[in-house]
Amino acid sequence: MASRALAVWQNRQVVNLLVRRELKVKYQKSILGYAWSLLDPLAQAAIYFFVFGVLFNARVAPGGEDAPGGYALFLLSGILPWMWMSTALNDASRALITHAKLITTMKVPREIFPLAVVQTKFIEYLLTWPVLLLFVIVLGGQTGWTLLWLPVAIAVQFVFTLGITLFLASLNVLLRDVQRIVRILNRVLFYSSPIIYPMFQVMESERIPGWFKTLYEMNPLVGIFQMHHAVWFPTEQPTQFILWSTVAGALIMFVIGYLTFRRLETAVLKEL
Amino acid sequence: MAEPVIEAKGLGVKFAMNRRRRLSLREMFIHGSKRDPNKGGDFWPLRNVSFEVAKGDCVGIVGKNGTGKSTLLKLIAGVLIPDEGEVTVRGKIAPLLELRAGFSDDLTGRENVNLVGSLHGMTPKMLEEKFQEIVDFAELRSGYIDMPVRHYSSGMKVRLGFALISQLQHPIMLVDEVLAVGDKAFRRKCYDTIEKMLENDRTMVLVSHNEGDLKRFCNRGLYIKDGSLVADTDITSALAAYNADTQAEIEARKKKSGGDGKAA
């Protein structure tokens, strides 16, 4: 595994190239370009704000209505990183297939293609930060030491997303159903993580049995998004249990993804 | 003797017979293992192939269509992983497989050259220096280099691929049927390039159906028949063995159709 990691590192220039090309193609082909990667999450955030914040009049921002930033900031700080994950999952299943020609003519560490997908989406996520900051200023969001949660959240999310991407990319070459499953998976993951609702609503609900709450806490995405929220809402800082189960979950996902990828490699190469 | 540059030991690859292109989950779960769509058994396009290639050799691989010549090249290139045996390659490889250098259709010629070039370890500076040379060698009409490769003719793709690959300073070159596509003028240029490369003590493995090309460059020949290596000699004998088998086959077919004719 160490030698493979080294090979990937030696090809980092190629990964950068793939990423840059992907972004270039995306932004060149459409008129709005960069604006598209903002419009999508903003539209989503607006919809959820309208439905939950206005229609249901839910006092859902953690720390009550008067929390700096309010529900709008809460939504955005969850949806923007979510877009990173969900778009990466969407592209994951095609990561190897789109580069089939390259892969079947040249010996490169095949891992770089899933890696490039995750990295591309990560950069798109970084590009949404100016907008988030704009909202922070307008809505009066506050942060402090909790800003330190951000790099942790990003690191864990990167490892987790890369794990899933490796897994899906290799599996999809052999089983094209994966592409469809991903769409459902995407939606399930979205609602099973505290992205548009604060976590305490699950934890304090009396209609949800205790074992389910524990299971819920163990979902690595819960920790990841709690950390993203915690940057602006200190009450959302994950507990020790959530933090470690998230880190462990991300690492396990990565190992599973990587092993699957290696295991299927022989078959994948024949199939491409 | 120095260590061989390419060393293949008992190489074998298997494909599942009757493998449907896309196995779907439904088939996997619902039919279970009883009605496995892949039950056709295994098929070995290549098995028990062992050989060594020394530095500076030019090896020609001959054989009928579908006997595993291209598969063998892919194994050497490392884009297929063998199910049996192993192949050791000492040195970097410049591959030109299945008439292409790994260009993707959506990108322009320029982007492809940059991408594939850097995948092969060319630095941006090297690429910049060599770029014009590559384009000139490929004889692309002006403007084509900034068009998606999708719009290229097959000849143009091959020319650009060959132009790029031949710029690589890698010690081993794998070439699959490329010379068959270019027009006469381009072929001459390829010949010159290949000769120059061979003079520089580079190693080459060539798959071709063109006896002239093979005899011209190769000092060794591998004859592959039905997935196994039947001859590993000089190119003339390998070609002779191949031709003898082809001749025998044609005669057998003639006899068979003749026999059918009488019976009818």
Spatial CB neighbours of A155, under 8 Å, sequence gap ≥ 6: none
Residue B250 domain-assigned (yes or no): yes
pLDDT, residue A64, reads 64
Residue B36 domain-assigned (yes or no): no
Residue recorded with tokens 């976590």: A199
pLDDT, residue B33, reads 46
pLDDT in tens, A70-95: 888 888 899 999 999 999 999 988 88
**CB–CB contacts below 8 A, A to B:** 74
Cβ distance A173 to A96 under 8 Å?
yes
Q: Does the reported pTM lie above 0.90?
A: no
Number of domains in chain B: 1
pLDDT at B98 over 80: no
Q: Smallest Cβ distance to A270: which of B15, B25, B97?
A: B15
Q: Which domain holds residue B231?
A: 58-81+92-254
**A106/B102 Cβ within 8 A:** yes
Residue B70 domain-assigned (yes or no): yes
CA–CA separation, A48 and B249 (whole Å): 73
**What's the rounded mean pLDDT across residues A202-224?**
88
Q: With bands split at pLDDT 50, 70 and 90, how would you rate the model's confidence at B23?
A: low
CA–CA separation, A215 and A200 (whole Å): 15
Residue B66 domain-assigned (yes or no): yes
CA of A268, closest CA in chain B: separation in Å?
9
Closest Cα in chain B to A99: B104
CA–CA separation, B120 and A270 (whole Å): 22
pLDDT, residue A58, reads 67
Residue B38 domain-assigned (yes or no): no
List strand residue ranges (DSSP E) for B82-191, in order. Answer: 84-89, 93-96, 172-176
Residue B31 domain-assigned (yes or no): no
pLDDT in tens, B236-255: 888 888 888 888 888 888 88
Interface test with B, best of A103, A107, A108, A176 (most B CBs within 10 A): A107
Tell me if chain A has a CB within 8 Å of the CB of B248.
no
Residue B218 domain-assigned (yes or no): yes
pLDDT in tens, B144-191: 888 888 888 888 888 888 888 888 888 888 888 766 666 788 888 888
Q: How many CB atoms lie within 10 A of CB B43?
A: 13
Which domain CATH number covers B121? 3.40.50.300
What interface predicted TM-score (ipTM) does this complex get?
Answer: 0.76
**A105/B24 Cβ within 8 A:** no
Residues of B in contact with A11 (CB under 8 A): 119
